[in-house]
Structure 1
């Protein structure tokens, strides 16, 4: 029996258990740094599988690691399980219907992400045991990908320092190797302090912190014309100064998310945004305080690992969806726009095929996507250790992520099939590395070339602790 077939059989033997496991996590959506019940489910599964477990990685209560094996290379498989706010949705519908009004939901598929990664790690564990070979496989349970940069804190703390290669994936419309393109980003809170006063009787005595926030927003909006096309800046008002319009607001707070192609470009943009904040404070005679909440690096690719993963995709072929899967996907597509569907194809460098509802191919390795690019804290892992990511088809083509439609499909049979399919790809890639030291050597050589041999440098301030309390409160 071939090595990949052996480890794929270990995946198939667990498919029902892990589909149910993924569904349990879907049923308990928890936002960044609050994933206590979700991580408990992961810990229970790791204990059942016989992994050696470490908890509280990098001082984060919901970050865990399970390891199996002795000696040899260390293969890390990364999982996530955090949800998003305000994306509650009943499963299996093709209409918007919340389970909990304004509640959280798995609108990015992280219930599937963690389950498939742990499934892959468990299958590799069996392969190591059955073949009596040296080597270690680790499952890293990583919380707070959505804005919390947990992997960044973990990388800064040296959690991955003895890992040889890291493997991860993300749900998607199509199956294939993830193009290693993402934006570095940082989140910064700007808090303005002014002076309260009666807005009618003595407005001249007040200095409005809310005015300062509004002027900062105007300044950043003018800046947008004069920054790189691929850079992005977003903001959210965290504190508008209260609900009384007849009181001059003495305190107001805004959070900015700044994205750029790489860390040097990001640092330049951050400096410009900070100057605008200082200018707004100067114009309003207020004072501004800044606090970095999180920061992540851009992704660093690794061609040897990407080719190895692509070979696994080709050997396995695309996911096998049935007529019922296609019918539900068609219902979901009916809620989407034609632009949603075109964008999904462009993102993977594919031509639009009218009427196609689910993935039936492997995206060619040479394809380059078009359109917007997001961010991920996997980027920090990729600068610390050679890293590769898959995309696994788990939803109707065109489904926007961070949407109710994605949440609705999170427990569907198609999502389960896609989850098992990508678990096989990750497990096969891990086995290829364990049985071929030359693959790991090539991956490390390219990593050294791309990084210039420089050790990983975290974009996080050295004194910044994981924002467990702040993120848990949803601010």
Structure 2
């Protein structure tokens, strides 16, 4: 959720990482925002080192920065890697379409993970399922020679609920429509493009491995098949378990509406679910009942009042009532409301989260219910790496934008017309590399962020959705496995593979990444934002999946079955019985 989808016009709720393709703020506006927040750069560094580490120490004047050229170099290994992607393009796009067809939700990507792992096994990788205890997470490893350096790639493959859409259709046309006379809905769909994300990353990893073997280049390539990105669970927990230890660099991408990279940051985030417990009863005789739904509605209403005086420009607060009862004539005994609380750093998230928790307690008191909450995920803001972005950009510039066909542009225009947007098609350029805005204005979040505090990390976006479109929409699902997605997945694979080869064949480039990482993190000690004793949510896999992947259930890091949530509340008292009138 995703959540960082167009970082650089790449907001992955994956979030926005201070757009590399976006407009720069004027100096006057910068000072206004700094004044409004009541901070200075020095104060920020002292009070919140995580935010300071993610910022540039020097504010570039608009137009003063020029991206360096000549960082990306041609080499036999790079030519082989890019050639492998070209010659295997049908296999690559076929994997994207296969995962798109499955459209499996977070923590339940049974078929999708098996398909991606199988692709890498055929490329010579050793695959092991059950990374960090997650059934659908896996680590694929290829090593040649001394096995150094060690490069990591990130693969995601979860879909989103309610975003089912037939591919290549320019209007809303759900592929899976769930008929219910009281609550019709749509099935899941790849409205964030993770089918393409995992596929392109796997293709890049495979291409680097083939090139290393052919040209006898020492390297270890590790591909991390990650579950539940849309819930920001998979990587945050895996990092806390040491899964990414020992890497020299980590390469990441996300589908976008533009082809761009940059060195901006993202929002830190905590996901929390509040459970209210009341007493059920007949809606026609409601006296004494305790409605858990009333409590959830009151909480939602009160939390909206935080926006004017308690939320800075970087803050985001959004919620959904994910359990509000089943039928109007039964007072809901249990209700749940889930929040994503985002801010520029984990410290700032905690301040806002404490206010949200206080509101839940007020709602429970007012409704005479009981409330409990559980944190389902928590991640840091992303640590950028300018040296990595500059190298990646030089490769993107040399390779060029995705090769969009007339079919891709027409689908984009059809979707833009359907959505009321200018009919301009796909982004068919590589956006210039520009510095991030010096004042972070917030956006989405990514579980890649926790990796970025442990290993030098670079991210980029390749256009998969139309210009002006948004992610987490049916329109993105329409594109993901159609003509736009086919072009994006090949381009993204080439961008990642070319950059990885440069890090292998040019030790000075890898050193620059590591030196910058060391400098940025010198005053910050990363510690997981997950609470002590955290157990990640999981679903029990089907028997066929456990057998195929060689796993046993349950893993040793969770309690199974989970603790039941049962209300034991009493009816509300109305006071002494009234005496009959005489």
Question: Do both proteins adopt the same fold according to a TM-score greater than 0.5, normalized to the shorter chain?
Answer: yes
The answer as to 2:264 corresponding to 1:180 is: yes
Q: Distance in 1 between matches of 2:442 and 2:414?
A: 26
Native 8 Å contact 1:181 1:373 kept in 2: no
Q: Work out the number of aligned pairs and report it.
A: 456
Q: Residue 90 of structure 1 corresponds to which residue in structure 2? A: 166
Unaligned runs of 5+ in 2: 1-73, 178-185, 543-582
The answer as to 2:377 corresponding to 1:307 is: no
The answer as to 2:443 corresponding to 1:373 is: yes
Residue 54 of structure 1 is aligned with which of 128, 140, 149? 128
Q: Residue 412 of structure 2 corresponds to which residue in structure 1? A: 329
Q: Residue 27 of structure 1 corresponds to which residue in structure 2? A: 101
Q: Residue 84 of structure 2 corresponds to which residue in structure 1? A: 10
Native 8 Å contact 1:178 1:391 kept in 2: no
Residues 268-283 of structure 1 correspond to what in structure 2 (within 5 A)? 268-283=351-366
Larger Rg: 2
Task: Tell me by how many angstroms 1:201 deviates.
Answer: 5.1
SS in 2 for 1:335: helix
Q: Residue 285 of structure 1 corresponds to which residue in structure 2? A: 368
Q: Residue 111 of structure 1 corresponds to which residue in structure 2? A: 195
When structure 1 is superposed on structure 2, of 312-321 and 39-48 the one drifting more is 312-321
Native 8 Å contact 1:148 1:467 kept in 2: no
Residues 106-145 of structure 1 correspond to what in structure 2 (within 5 A)? 106-145=190-229
Task: Tell me by how many angstroms 1:200 deviates.
Answer: 6.0
The answer as to 2:421 corresponding to 1:357 is: no
Q: Residue 531 of structure 2 corresponds to which residue in structure 1? A: 461
Q: Distance in 2 between matches of 1:470 and 1:261?
A: 35
CA deviation vs aligned residue, 1:305-354 (integer Å, no higher than 9, x gap): 1111011011112222233332232222211233xx6xxxxxxxxxxxxx
SS in 1 for 2:356: helix
Unaligned runs of 5+ in 1: 342-354
Q: Residue 176 of structure 2 corresponds to which residue in structure 1? A: 100
When structure 1 is superposed on structure 2, of 43-52 and 369-378 the one drifting more is 369-378
Native 8 Å contact 2:269 2:380 kept in 1: yes
Native 8 Å contact 1:384 1:455 kept in 2: no
When structure 1 is superposed on structure 2, of 32-41 and 211-220 the one drifting more is 211-220
Across the aligned residues of Structure 1 and Structure 2, the Cα RMSD in angstroms comes to 2.3
Residue 137 of structure 2 is aligned with which of 47, 63, 84? 63
Q: Distance in 2 between matches of 1:244 and 1:176?
A: 49
When structure 1 is superposed on structure 2, of 371-380 and 396-405 the one drifting more is 371-380
Q: Distance in 2 between matches of 1:385 and 1:116?
A: 21
The answer as to 2:36 corresponding to 1:36 is: no
Residue 249 of structure 2 is aligned with which of 150, 159, 165? 165
Native 8 Å contact 2:155 2:198 kept in 1: yes
Task: Tell me by how many angstroms 1:9 deviates.
Answer: 1.0
Q: Distance in 2 between matches of 1:140 and 1:466?
A: 18
Task: Tell me by how many angstroms 1:197 deviates.
Answer: 5.2
Q: Distance in 2 between matches of 1:207 and 1:39?
A: 44
The answer as to 2:334 corresponding to 1:256 is: no
Q: Residue 517 of structure 2 corresponds to which residue in structure 1? A: 447
Native 8 Å contact 1:302 1:388 kept in 2: yes
Segments ≥4 residues shifted beyond 4 Å? 196-202, 367-372
Native 8 Å contact 1:78 1:117 kept in 2: yes
SS in 2 for 1:272: helix
